[in-house]
Structure 1
Amino acid sequence: MAMLLWALVAVCVLWVTLSCLPAGWDGRVPVLPYLIALQPFLWIPMAVVCVAALCLGEMPAATGALVAAVLAVARRPLTNHTQRVSARESLERAEHATAQLTVMTLNCRYGRADARAIVRAVRERGITVLALEELDDALVAALEREGLRELLPHRCLGEGKESDNGGFNGIWTKDEPVATAADVASIPAADVPAAVLRAGGATVLLAAAHTKSPMRGPCDWSDGIRGLARLIVHTTPAAAADAAFDAVVVMGDLNADIDHPSFRTLLKAGFRDAGLAAASRRQPTFPRWLPWPRIVLDHVLFTDRLAVTRTAAFVVEGTDHLALTATLAV
């Protein structure tokens, strides 16, 4: 029995180390992205092993399981935490801001999200930029009928393709954009539509992204995530070579979190995750129908010119993700 307990502890420790793989390696084997996504909950089986070992009088195994459980909880490398802006820093920077953007992102699950609920959320929450993923033509038409154009009159849609991950992406804005582009990131996934806005004296590129899920190809999943880092080094959107911008915001279902090495590529490139930088707690967004356990798949990423003051997640009927909002100070 002791051998079995130690074997379970060893499996847990090895599982935790998967998040330390080099970026891109997590996309080499189809099961790896899923195993890494479940790491936040590894403390549960280790707690069970610890209790079982105590009941059997196997103190060394119980100690090993306890250490493994602690490792699972504190699994994120310290280098990740150096990438985030603290809540205090964000609030201090927000005090000097002259404008703000209230953004919202939602995976619409093959176009099945409730259009009326989306428009109601935009109205009641004062959304100024809306990013939607997994759209279809029927949902876009339903949003128009429900009055989305009256609230956010400007839009840019990606082109629907057979290779899309459940549908195309779209972005709506309250203010008229300086420029728009149907695809600003050539990644193996749905088009990444974007709008360039002027806010607080800055020119901000805002993009809606939906990287492929691992089941549609782990290599494309990893390449798509890491490919978004190229948006930071761009100085112009594809649609307007003369419209430089000062900050970048990427919103959407990225099918990954900070535990995934591929996702951490974005943080190392200079993106900040609103969920890490906001004073409020992180916002797990999937699956909608389970209050716990949920994982973080949807993100609002931004570059240094901006600061986040708050985030929130809430239910929109018809989809399997929660909607995610963030208030960004410019």
Structure 2
Amino acid sequence: MTIISAPRAGREAGPRRRRKAALTVLFWLLILPFLAWAVIRLGGWERGPVVQLFAFTPYVAAAAWVPAILALATRRWTVGAVAVIVAIMLAAAVLPRAIGNRDKGPAAGVRLNVMTSNMLFGGADAATIVKLVSEHDVAVLAVQEFTTEGKEALAAAGLGALLPYSSLADRPQADGSGLYSRYPLTEPGAQQNGGGFMQAYATVQVPGAGPVVVESAHPLAPYARSVLGQWRKDLLAEPRADDSATPRILLGDFNATLDHAPLRELISHGYRDAADAAGKGLIGTWGPYDGDPIPPVTIDHVLVDERIGVREVSVHGIPSSDHRAIVAGLTVPAAR
């Protein structure tokens, strides 16, 4: 019996080894895209069609744990260890947004609630926007894709009674921008960025506080490879925060997530992302909320001067808009 079964065992061992080796190779092939993603993300090297894909980095970071767990479960220790390192690299880039930042800025000062909402060609439900302004005691509202029809709808919904001061640049389609304020505005205006979108701005005179410059941001979207250069230029051309100048709030539809290097570079010039600081940075703000199988991504932001504190952030759906609104509770420096 021993003499007969030994060759059979040998014949069976060869295919088993080949299957085991093939599965190990498969694991390596599964891990390599995640490794490349992590390297590009940490290096800020996204270019070409990868730019759009990088908006979905939080989902990739979650998926990276699947091959890591499977490799360890099948006792492939080397490939499993590499997979875990890759997953940790991606998690380190993404997870802090859900935890919050210890440095939320100054806690002392004057309370100021701000809100931003992309109105989708002016068709967003104005009553919902006005209701959010009222319920959350919003003192400054920024709107993008702001049309004359959108302006009229907000007025009909009663926004003027809550926020009587404004700096408006309504335009057809997606080009318009606007600012509404409870407090008086000085130096109001609007400028057109390189991508063609207007950006309304003004200095808000907050009672008990010093002046604050607020701008409704709307850089070009990276919708095609041919516009990626302008998308990058628009982001990098946004005004920087300057310790020697008036504190600044930049809020709106940035068409970029924190996984895009140009936005991170902008933030590094004196800003903090309010949602990131408050632990709400992974809540999707844009997505086809009409049932299409595309997960939401976070491209709307409230960027605040480092001299301004962040207390809380909330995200709200707006009917008839593909963007969600962001409400941020801030603390601005008190008047000296």
The CA deviation at 1:248 is 0.6
Partner of 1:242: none
Instruction: Provide the TM-score with structure 2 as the length reference.
Output: 0.80
Partner of 2:272: 272
Does residue 125 (structure 1) correspond to residue 133 (structure 2)? The answer is: no
Q: Secondary structure at the match of 1:232?
A: coil
Partner of 1:310: 312
Partner of 2:205: 198
Q: State how far apart, in whole Å, the 2-side matches of 1:205 and 1:54 are.
A: 53
CA deviation digits over 1:147-201, x for unaligned, max 9?
Answer: 111111122123637xx7x331111111110220112x74434111111112233
Does residue 188 (structure 1) correspond to residue 188 (structure 2)? The answer is: no
Q: State how far apart, in whole Å, the 2-side matches of 1:75 and 1:116 are.
A: 37
Q: State how far apart, in whole Å, the 2-side matches of 1:221 and 1:137 are.
A: 26
Q: How does 1:9-28 map to 2 (within 5 A)?
A: 9-21=31-43, 26=46, 28=47
Q: Is the 8 A contact 1:288 1:322 kept in 2?
A: no
Partner of 1:172: 180
Q: Which amino acid aligns with 1:168?
A: G
Q: How does 1:1-330 map to 2 (within 5 A)?
A: 1=22, 2-21=24-43, 26=46, 28-29=47-48, 31-53=49-71, 58-75=76-93, 86-87=101-102, 90=105, 93-94=106-107, 96-97=108-109, 99-158=110-169, 160=171, 166-183=174-191, 186-199=193-206, 200-216=208-224, 217-228=227-238, 230-232=239-241, 246-278=246-278, 280-282=279-281, 283-287=283-287, 289=289, 294-330=296-332
Is there any run of 5+ residues in structure 2 with no aligned partner, and where?
A: 1-21
Is there any run of 5+ residues in structure 1 with no aligned partner, and where?
A: 236-244
The CA deviation at 1:60 is 2.9
Q: Which amino acid aligns with 1:202?
A: G
The CA deviation at 1:20 is 3.3
Q: State how far apart, in whole Å, the 1-side matches of 2:115 and 2:218 are.
A: 14
Task: Tell which structure's C-alpha radius of gyration is larger.
Answer: 2
Partner of 2:14: none
Q: Which amino acid aligns with 2:41?
A: S
* Runs of at least 4 residues off by over 6 Å: none
Q: State how far apart, in whole Å, the 1-side matches of 2:241 and 2:258 are.
A: 18
The CA deviation at 1:329 is 0.9
Q: CA RMSD in A?
A: 2.9
Distance 1:231 1:76, change over 3 A: same
Q: State how far apart, in whole Å, the 1-side matches of 2:104 and 2:265 are.
A: 22
Q: State how far apart, in whole Å, the 1-side matches of 2:152 and 2:241 are.
A: 33
Q: State how far apart, in whole Å, the 1-side matches of 2:222 and 2:103 are.
A: 35
Aligned-pair identity (%): 26
CA deviation digits over 1:288-316, x for unaligned, max 9?
Answer: 73899542211111113311111111111
Q: Secondary structure at the match of 1:250?
A: strand
Q: Secondary structure at the match of 2:185?
A: coil
Instruction: Provide the TM-score with structure 1 as the length reference.
Output: 0.82
Q: Which amino acid aligns with 2:204?
A: L
Q: State how far apart, in whole Å, the 2-side matches of 1:208 and 1:149 are.
A: 18
Partner of 1:240: none
Q: State how far apart, in whole Å, the 1-side matches of 2:152 and 2:305 are.
A: 33
Q: State how far apart, in whole Å, the 1-side matches of 2:298 and 2:195 are.
A: 21
Q: Is the 8 A contact 2:199 2:215 kept in 1?
A: yes
Q: Which amino acid aligns with 2:57?
A: Q
Q: Which amino acid aligns with 1:6?
A: W
Corresponding residue pairs, total: 302
